[in-house]
Amino acid sequence: MVLKIEQKLIFAIFLLFQIFEIIANESCILSTGKAGVCVPIKTCERDLDAFVFETDFCANNFSEICCESVNLRISLDESPKEIKTTRDFESYASYKLFDSSKCGKIDEIERISGGEEADLLEFPWNALIGYQSKTALEFLCGGSLINEFYVLTCAHCLVNPNGRIRLDVKLVRLGEYRKSTTEDCKILSDEQKLCADPVQDIEVNRRNLIVHSDFSYLEKIHDIGLIKISKAKMEQNNIKPICLPFEERFETLPKSLVVIGFGRTEKSSNNSDVLLKAKVQTISNEKCFDEFKKAKSNIYFSINNDLQFCAGDIRDSCRGDSGSSIQFPQIFEGTTVRQVQYGIVSFGDIDCGSHFPGIYTKIYPYISWILENVK
């Protein structure tokens, strides 16, 4: 009897500590206009994909979220839940080449909320693919660093319409933020200067361009590829890998995603000098296809529900480069929040401001293919 009383007393004290900790946290206002409190993500019952990007996160670092009091969760069970994977991904020898302790990290550097431009060091996995023309090196496609030796991109950036490997693929550039400057810096609120490390240019051997064997340039299906590179300098602050969706739950897309790249904007017909980002909403493939049919009579492709998805925003759909990543922060491996890549920019409308959605290659159905081709 005494033991039970002691257990109840300990439990009550524990609850009081948790309640006091919550009360001590900063108050905040959700994007819905309701009042909330800044708490660790695992103590709030809201789903991450229900948040409005950035505005519902506290401290600009994604470690805490603005949680309405009715959604607060107080629990003694602090142990991570079992992570479910499908298709036995861990059985692949290459699985160990993906270090979950390093991928998709969201640092605590103060961020500029909103706007078209990405912030310095916000997306350190973004890659540029350089093509050698007769007169210059041109960066025409993007990609994402997924580990020290591989960049993920789309197949149509690596092959010609006839299906042959492009001969003009010259290099991969990692760590780029502003193309016109050799050093990228920002001034923090305390007047301290933060600078990105130098970019890393890695020459590409054409034998290291890997394209899905069933890719169809005409039908736009299986639009996924890999580039094997020499070792990325991941010790630099501007070169880090993104997390891939190895967990079963990542098969379901969030309502909102963020696409990045050096694509064009409504204000300019030229590619952007600085890395851009845009929050987009997922759209049903049926509605997406209808939008294309309304404006284009020569539709020669379909959208595969299992392998592709549509997303767009109210401003434009061409901010991302072909091959660039589309991602969203999620709870990863139980407790930490990481950026997880859900798709690859595949194709869409080329006219900025016309409000057409973009079409993306889903990554989850191709995890086995990626693991089979990463050596």
Max mean pLDDT range (86-90, 279-283, 288-292, 318-322): 279-283
Of the candidates 144, 256, 322, 346, the residue annotated as catalytic is 322
- Rounded average pLDDT over 106-115: 59
Tokens of 346: 């595949």
Does the annotation count 322 as an active-site position?
Answer: yes
- Rounded average pLDDT over 18-31: 54
In terms of residues, how long is the chain? 375
Q: Quick check: helix, strand or coil at residue 155?
A: helix
Domain layout of the chain by residue ranges: 2-71, 126-373
More confident residue, 270 or 240: 240
Residues contacting residue 117 through CB under 8 Å, at least 6 positions apart? 274, 275, 276, 277
Q: Is the pLDDT of residue 80 over 50?
A: no
pLDDT at 18: 46
**Among candidate residues 83, 151, 162, 109, the one with its CA nearest the CA of residue 330:** 83
Residues contacting residue 147 through CB under 8 Å, at least 6 positions apart? 97, 98, 99, 241, 374
Q: Are strands 64-67 and 308-312 parallel, antiparallel or unpaired?
A: unpaired
Q: Is the pLDDT of residue 150 over 90?
A: yes
Q: pLDDT tens digits for 156-182?
A: 999 999 989 999 999 999 999 999 999
- Percent of the chain beyond pLDDT 90? 50
138 CB burial (10 A radius; 0-12, 13-18, 19+): middle
pLDDT at 72: 52
pLDDT at 56: 67
Distance CA 159, CA 129 (A): 13
Of the candidates 56, 144, 222, 223, the residue annotated as catalytic is 223
- Span 126-373: which CATH code? 2.40.10.120
How far is residue 316 from each of residues 55, 146, 265, 356, measured CA to CA in Å?
21, 27, 7, 7
Give, for 139, the enclosing helix (H) or strand (E): strand 137-147
Structure confidence at residue 52 as a pLDDT band (50, 70, 90): very low
pLDDT at 17: 45
Of the candidates 56, 156, 272, 349, the residue annotated as catalytic is 156
